[in-house]
Structure 1
């Protein structure tokens, strides 16, 4: 598997080019299959990208949007990825996209795995575009090296699509796509900004223990395009 690097001089330059790349892929998906799917990650890094995407002229009614992971909090909580996504992406032209959220009425994420798995049928798979981030500990989506569930999350032999995760180094229970579900994507992007994240990625590329740095499991099993700016 390979990592292709696209480096930019600024985050503004990155977001413009990245938005164009995503839209081209989604347009191709709509043309070829009638619909296209976009699965994204939360955090601070993609906010400006999402805002730019929301204003692009695209047949958004034919685009399915979902999250790679979610904190198990109410959707009006500031920690909610869904809240951020509704504010930054599901606005303007993209307001008509088919959004499939992860948070359910279940108090415990473990009890929601079956529901989330059933809801995935509302998205076109394989995903046309998957955008991943990466934490300073090498986690991606909510596949945390500190969690008891990391072995299950990275198990490609299991047929799990989602897994409930309880990190020990971060707040909130989470729901996350598993490694095999993440890999079921036509185009996988790793979206990073800042020198520190580049250093973490360099460390990940040098080692082999996927459970210590779960981003390695993606890099070792898929063609990934890095979108990076300082």
Structure 2
């Protein structure tokens, strides 16, 4: 089920996101004594992560929804964002020394087995091309990432575009990995992305707009947060 929340400002969205993430984590901790939080990169949730890092229970593990295949000192590294916000012992990253993400799939999936599952909550973003996580339109590896038998984490090589830039090699949660969560949150900002989101709710060709796979599934509740 999709629930939509429209906010008057990005600041209002961020305040609600922080509150809701903490509430969902508290529920998981009360139930199991531990929890995993799966987070996406981006400027919108960044301030929320900084605030969470100061108060998050040490029993909570934080991991990535996806990452570019770059070193930690690269400005495109999502892992670097999380490590700047949370204690190092709470963060599980995706990047390995392997030259390509395809060579690291087994190792990354093994690392993610350390996370309490199902994940307490997974925070997703969406691009103007209809991608979410690093599930890019018609990317190499997309079909495998959407397959029912996919592991939590898969390698993707996107088609280079204005959205991807030159960094087309990615590690990402598969659709199965995304749905391995008690709740999903999708963050959207701007009228252009709102239009893409509305289109994706009914589009037939998932490969052209992979976020549709998340929007059209019935397994996990999805809260959509939008702000201009």
TM-score, L = length of structure 1: 0.91
Cα separation, 1, equivalents of 2:88 and 2:27? 19
> Where does residue 53 of structure 1 map in the other structure?
52
**C-alpha offsets along residues 83-118 of structure 1, whole Å, 9 cap, x if unaligned?**
12222x31xxxx266211000111111110000010
Aligned to 2:111: 119
Distance 1:51 1:10 in 2: 19
Following TM superposition, the consecutive aligned residue runs of length 4 or more in structure 1 with deviations greater than 3 angstroms are none
Cα 1:97/1:191, change in 2 over 3 Å: farther
> What residue in structure 2 maps to residue 184 of structure 1?
180
Is the 2:64–2:94 Cα contact (8 Å) retained in structure 1? yes
Distance 2:204 2:223 in 1: 19
Q: Distance in 2 between matches of 1:167 and 1:49?
A: 28
- State how far apart, in whole Å, the 2-side matches of 1:96 and 1:177 are: 21
2: CA distance between counterparts of 1:184 and 1:17? 23
> Shift of residue 146 of structure 1?
3.1
* C-alpha distance after superposition, 1:177-221 (max 9, x if no partner): 110111010010001111111111011123122111111101111
Please tell me whether the aligned partners of residues 15 and 49 of structure 1 are also in contact (alpha carbons under 8 angstroms).
yes
Match of 2:63 in 1: 66
Structure-to-structure mapping, 1:116-155, within 5 angstroms:
116-155=108-147
**C-alpha distance in 1 between matches for 2:52 and 2:192:** 26
- Contact persistence 2:202–2:216 (CA under 8 A): no
CA distance in 1, matches of 2:110, 2:68: 19
Equivalence map 1:151-166=2 (5 Å): 151-156=143-148, 158-166=149-157
CA 1:116–1:23 in structure 2 vs 1: closer, same or farther (change >3 Å)? same
Q: Displacement of 1:161 after TM fit?
A: 2.2
RMSD: 1.4
Cα distance change of structure 1 residues 96 and 79 upon mapping to structure 2, 3 Å threshold = closer
- 2: distance between equivalents of 1:109 and 1:207? 29
**What is the distance in 2 between the residues matched to 1:152 and 1:58?**
34
Structure 2: segments with no counterpart, 5+ residues: none
Match of 1:225 among 219, 223, 226: 223
Partner of 1:211, secondary structure, is helix
Residues matched between the structures, number: 221
| Residues 128 and 97 (structure 1), Cα distance of their counterparts in 2 relative to 1, 3 Å cut | farther
